[in-house]
Structure 1
């Protein structure tokens, strides 16, 4: 903050006596400082906002200060702001904040005076609470039916639901309907809470359904003493399916005990057998292939069919691979993964005359499997770039939209979350072509994630410059070189992790462009003798890239430098990769990736490897062969440089194939 204060003070001192309108750069500087002050509450921000009255983001300053002081505001102050800025997002934010404050204090008259519907479940329930507090009554269909369809509700709804229960509105039929929705969503807390409102044996059965979700092993053990009623059968079947995911052997033993104990319906029996077969497959058990193949046709799913193929791949049983792919429906067979492995299996069974045409066709697609296929036939990589079309008139019309102006300004002053909200509101009902023009405008301003997410289908997949930006200001190339890793791979990781959202934040507290957890980043900084300024610093792209490339280097060093294994470790953790290597470390890289048990990690490795090819082409005009980034397990990896031989990139004669979505999507 101090350098901003100094810069702004210097600007004020040097300003000419005739007060010219501040430039846009000066307004942005003033806004940043005023914003920092406004977030502390009070009116101090106003002295920093001189010259900002006409700046598009001016209303955000007042709202930030008011929201900080929301517990002390009177209704008139809030109503005045809402009247002046009725259609702006800051007004909606202030309304919500003030309503939450009034609800906490149970100032229901003030709450209802400014309440509007459609502000979320918590405030909807607060409004019903206010109604009850003022002597009103509840009607289930009018007041609760929409809320009741949610498998989970916020705590603000508890007083309302208690009142509805006391009023006799929550019948057993209604309670069971919501319990079933909560079971489908895995919301054990909701099931357990509602169980207490059911009478006698119904309540007991509901509590056992909650136990099946929460502790399936205990539920399977206890089920030998349960009565054979419909709801207890439901609980037993659910517990067996949940246990199969965690411990297939225990689930097998439980099934042997409970199958004769309960009169399971055909659907319940098939559901348990399906779960047992599927999770034995993900464990790559000895009899997994037989279990999967013996499932009735109407029980099979795309997931069970693909796992039949993955188990066969793990065994390198090529006839079984072909049989598994043949058992898939046509649409699944046509996915690029299974076209590649059909060709792989045909080649391995001496049918190169059938395999080579499949490889050649697949090699015309700019995807992970397309690049693997091109390597198999020593072909060029197929990439057909396009640029978004120019449309100056429509661009100017977009730039004239106040909402989009606010979005671009919020991005320019480093408030990307608020920028995305304004973007979504300004363009929420926009047609596809206009949205793509807006994405181009965003890209030209360095707001790359808008292009990444917008150019996600059809011809727009060929906008490679915009979808795979070279964000040189973030220091990817020099930091990767200093860390001793391939810059193209570092770019690919950042692209896959965050799609260039510098403020990306995962549920696991991973942050920034390369999605580093603060604890890991602190360890990396210490190990490399780098400054560590805390978790918030990970939202600074330069800091994030500096630490992320070093962590990538650590992962690479652990796996003989191999980018593909290090990518898997970056996503799933190195210990998991060690476990998979101990179990299937004899497999070629493409088969190993296909047999990674986690769908997320399989997809992640494929995307990163495809993105690395594309970024290599973006950097050098040619592309390092994908196979060279996927050395055999245990084989040392040689870091490429500008002199390393690279493959030509060409556009096939039928460029429609170049817009395939798999592998190089998002």
Structure 2
């Protein structure tokens, strides 16, 4: 490709600078720590060229920051067509240690600067700039940090944002404003790093945050079992022991705190009951509502973590306490309330249940043009049909342009090597500035070359013009339809599930061993095969598309029958196993709408899964027939019922 040819010579010069900049021997490090944000290990496919196999090996060495190995492998790949990645994989281990921490003593400055200059505007340059900003922030080199930060396109790293806060504070910006921004940044503990506690400490010392606010930030980390990180906030949390106890034994924490609540200040009492309520709610313990009502009486909602605030609403929903639902959402931090349409929808429902029809309608109106679970529910609450917008037909001249796009071709190059993480990075990079019509054309191009997941992902990004046939494609219909029809399975529901499970990637593999379009586990496959008479089934056959669809569809139908025809329970069972939704149903305090059951599923992944699968199914129904789908009807009602042991895996 033209871009590769133009940069190959310059990348060789960058390699020379890099080799001159690095030290001859790597320092000793502790045992490598797995970086959970990195893609899983890739084993080179047998049909790759020898050079591409070396490239995959280089990538794996770079993931664990093996300086010596990346240098050796990189020297053999200077003529590789992905020479910028070859160089990136050699530079990265020089700026991270084997514990995946940015190295203040990195000696790769010249190599980084040369790489960023040569590869300006590329996805991999933005990735390296992200890495480099972590080094510069750790060094407190604010002049160079600021220079690079304004060029960081994606700006999606929480640690980098926290270093940016530190840089602004060093320049004397208003501490109150910085404290407000920091609180909005730290909504998700899993992305915390040392930069964020440092920023909080600095702003606290300058009077921009109160001691209670800093303690609340550390509490978010502690709730997520990041004790070391929580301590780095540098403020003693009077309820830290209660938080630890609630995380491991919320029932015991409830009993213990009831005895000592009177000795605790009002703010800390509110925070403690909020944490206890959260962890009781995740266990579906009936005392969760009592804990949250005690918290509500004490006030100080702003000191609750995002998880505690959200589970307060979910707990009130399970109990049917609509006033508490309404007041809890009103007490949410604005940033938490805005990031999920759930809270807009349930606020409207609370208004409706409390008799304020006018305000309820006004609230629902804010959601009806959102193409998601809550947009569908809001439309039904307003007596409107779930609809598919008018199709914008892909422009053939634009489709041709997309087929010639070097970035998309580069992504396909990665897909061909089995490197989907890098392929998605390159593909998504090209989408950043596209108009709706261009996105539809890019999605059509993806569909034509069999990249259905990219077609879905790309078409999903349009704002005003849409092609739902690309958002909700039906590949392999000639195989799925006969299977579904033969067992009476709703094929639209099956498609909704496949879209969520694999995005139509036939070779999809999960970290726990599920595979194929319907992500069937080997043990499940063996069970279903035996039940339906596939006597000679071998697990290796799961990679066959028709076999995967046959076993997955039959299992989906089995869990539906086992769970009394409830699509909400069966969708949950397909993701989490049949025993869990049975237990969740058994612990319901009353009969609830399927939407409330879905909202209060204690597993984050399964909760999102059920909502997405059933919303997908509605759009597939709307696309495939003149029948108007009803999400509420599909969700049904879910009643408490004693669990019956099932043989289903």
Task: Please tell me the TM-score bracket, short chain as reference.
Answer: 0.5 to 0.7
Contact 1:408 1:442 in 2 (8 A): no
Shift of the 65–267 alpha-carbon distance from structure 1 to 2, 3 Å rule, reads closer
Please name the residue that 1:613 is paired with.
Answer: 618
Match of 1:628 among 629, 633, 649: 633
1:290 aligns with 2:271: no
Structure 2 unaligned segments of length 5 or more: list them: 1-43, 61-68, 108-131, 141-156, 159-185, 193-217, 226-230, 641-649
Aligned to 2:318: 314
**SS state at 1:488 partner:** helix
Give 1:503 shift.
3.3
CA offset at residue 247 of structure 1? 1.6
Output the CA distance in 2 between the equivalents of 1:489 and 1:84.
45
Tell me if structure 1 keeps the 8 A contact 2:74–2:87: no
Rounded Cα–Cα distance in structure 1 between residues aligned with 2:500 and 2:268:
39
- The 2-side partners of 1:84 and 1:513 are apart by 33
1:559·1:634 contact (CA, 8 Å) conserved in 2?
Answer: no
TM-score by length of 1: 0.59
**SS at the partner of 1:82?**
coil
How many Å separate the matches in 1 of 2:77 and 2:234?
56
User: Which structure 2 residues correspond to residues 122-271 of structure 1 after superposition, within 5 A?
Assistant: 122=98, 238-253=240-255, 255=257
Q: Against the structure 1 CA distance between its residues 403 and 234, is the aligned structure 2 distance closer, same or farther, given a 3 Å change threshold? A: same
Q: What is the aligned-residue RMSD (CA, Å)?
A: 5.4
Deviations 1:339-367 (A, max 9, x none): 44344444444555655565577555443
CA distance in structure 2 between the aligned counterparts of 1:619 and 1:432, rounded to whole angstroms: 29
1:480-519 equivalence runs, <5 A: 480-519=484-523
Greater shift in the superposed pair: 620-629 or 441-450: 620-629
Q: How does 1:543-562 map to 2 (within 5 A)?
A: 543-562=547-566
Deviation at 1:401, TM superposition (A): 5.0
Q: Partner of 1:604 in structure 2?
A: 609
In structure 2, the CA distance between the partners of 1:124 and 1:79, relative to structure 1 (3 Å rule), is farther
Cα distance 1:423–1:67, how it changes in 2: closer, same or farther (>3 A)?
closer
The 1:484–1:121 alpha-carbon spacing in structure 2 relative to 1, beyond 3 Å, is farther
Residues of 2 paired with 1:330 and 1:464: CA distance?
32
Which residue of structure 2 lines up, in the alignment, with residue 523 of structure 1? 527
Task: Find the counterpart in structure 1 of residue 600 from structure 2.
Answer: 595
Question: What SS does structure 2 have at the residue aligned with 1:466?
Answer: helix
In structure 1, distance between residues paired with 2:605 and 2:98: 32
2:74 counterpart of 1:82: no
Post-superposition offset of 1:388: 6.2
**Following the alignment from structure 2 to structure 1, what is the Cα–Cα distance between the partners of residues 368 and 562?**
32
- Note if 1:442 corresponds to 2:454: no
Give the length in aligned residue pairs. 488
Distance in 2, matches of 1:124 and 1:327, equals 38
What is aligned with 1:275?
275
**Pair 561,458 (structure 1): closer, same or farther in 2 beyond 3 Å:** same
Question: What's the secondary structure of 1:298's corresponding residue?
Answer: helix
Shift of the alpha carbon at 1:258? Answer: 8.8
What is the aligned partner in structure 1 of residue 479 from structure 2? 475
2:434 paired residue number: 432
Call closer, same or farther: CA 1:405–1:335 in 2, change over 3 Å: closer
Distance in 2, matches of 1:418 and 1:214, equals 34
Using the size of structure 2 for normalisation, the TM-score is: 0.60
CA distance in 1, matches of 2:96, 2:320: 52
* Cα distance in 2 between the residues matched to 1:629 and 1:450: 28
Task: Tell me by how many angstroms 1:605 deviates.
Answer: 1.8
Shift in alpha-carbon separation, 1:431–1:276, aligned structure 2, 3 A:
same
Give SS of 2:628's match: coil
CA gap 1:235/1:339 in 2 versus in 1, 3 angstroms: closer
Seen in structure 2, the aligned counterparts of structure 1 residues 92 and 549 have a Cα distance that, compared at 3 Å, is farther
Q: Contact 1:248/1:276 (CA < 8 Å) preserved in 2?
A: yes
Change in Cα spacing, 1:123 to 1:503, as seen in structure 2 (3 Å) is farther
Structure 1 residue 307 displacement after superposition = 2.9
1:421 match: 422
Q: Deviations over 1:248-298 (max 9, x none)?
A: 12223555799999xx99998775443123223443415133133134233
Q: Shift of residue 214 of structure 1?
A: 13
What displacement does 1:461 show? 7.6
Q: Distance in 2 between matches of 1:396 and 1:36?
A: 33
Cα distance in 1 for residues equivalent to 2:524 and 2:244: 32
Report if aligned partners of 2:269, 2:295 keep a CA contact under 8 Å in 1: no
1:405-448 Cα offsets, whole Å, 9 max, x none, are: 4644776x7x5x33663463476366334666433311222211
